[in-house]
Structure 1
């Protein structure tokens, strides 16, 4: 994971609001989150998660679908207002092998792999600066129902 660097310029006010800077990794403690699909339906079992800025987050996503359903889901955390771009780029430049996430997409903060029915995937990432960050499933056709928000305080 790359860490952010904040630069400040001397002089006048640019008129633009200050962008929040990333807190030091791990400064928000360690947090474990478990999230699952609602069975075989394309919904997450929770649509709101909360963490402290700078937290080291370990997220386990479980695909609770019936193994016979052949449903695959993922969890993708994105920058605000980029969901449609991430989904579109994942469809056009991604593939099942990249979990329908465009490789090195700058709008993606963290993501699991595509998880087969009955399986799970665990990832670890540093919580971004305070704000609300959408999470979605980028498997074709699911982002409209499999979505939520990670609130970072």
Structure 2
């Protein structure tokens, strides 16, 4: 009898142990353990999408650079081998380039000062040189003074220049087109001290 009871108790113990191994807690633990893994795996996919946005910005970046590469001012209007440009009290020319027709033998530039300030305070002129000579000619012209229109006397680098004028005044200069056909590029600028940094443009024969 005791033997039967012992065997029965042993069988119950084994049955309970087997049921314990099949406890529903195991699947829940596995599901809980895998859930964060799935979340971690999908997270990079969500964060990867915004990373493509800078690429779109970079692709558009060359547009402003292209705009900054040239003047935003219009070309001068040319008729009958002549043009008129304006200088202002805001230290600006109204044009950024002058295109001289190749059919012209002489060309005339008329400068109109549309401001009101006197020549001593905001004088303007037009000086034409090679682009490579512009800074040196402007710097040396400062030493020549206002009486010389801030242009060094007999400077061989100067192709042509007008007189220095104040608000409401007009001046002009004519020169042989052959002087700017070769050896360029050439520029026109104002040699009044400090003006050439802003008041300048290109001049070419086409």
Q: TM-score, normalised by structure 2?
A: 0.55
| 1:30-54, Cα deviation, whole Å (9 max, x unpaired) | 50110111x3111100010101345
What residue is the counterpart of 1:41 in the other structure? 90
Q: Work out the CA distance in 2 between the residues paired with 1:50 and 1:116.
A: 26
Q: 1:68 to 1:106 in 2, by over 3 A?
A: closer
8 Å CA contact 1:43–1:146 kept in 2: the answer is: yes
Find the counterpart in structure 1 of residue 128 from structure 2: 77
Distance 2:109 2:205 in 1: 14
Which of the numbers 159, 174, 189 marks the counterpart of 1:124? Answer: 174
Q: Is the 8 A contact 2:181 2:204 kept in 1?
A: no
Q: Which runs of 4+ in 1 moved over 4 A?
A: 67-70
Question: For the structure 1 residues 104 and 137, does the alpha-carbon distance in structure 2 shift closer, same or farther, using more than 3 Å as the test?
Answer: same
RMSD, aligned α-carbons: 2.0
Q: Out of 118, 138, 154, which is 1:87 matched to?
A: 138
Give 1:132 shift.
2.9
Q: What's 1:21 paired with?
A: none
Structure with greater proportional strand content = 1
CA distance in 2, matches of 1:96, 1:63: 16
SS in 2 for 1:139: coil
- In structure 1, the gaps of 5 or more residues are 1-29
Structure 1 residues 68 and 58: CA distance shift in structure 2, 3 A: closer
Question: If each structure's helix is expressed as a fraction of its own residues, which one has the higher value?
Answer: 2
TM superposition shift of 1:67? 4.6
Query: For the pair shown, which has the larger CA radius of gyration, 1 or 2?
Result: 2
Gaps in structure 2 of 5+ consecutive residues? 1-79
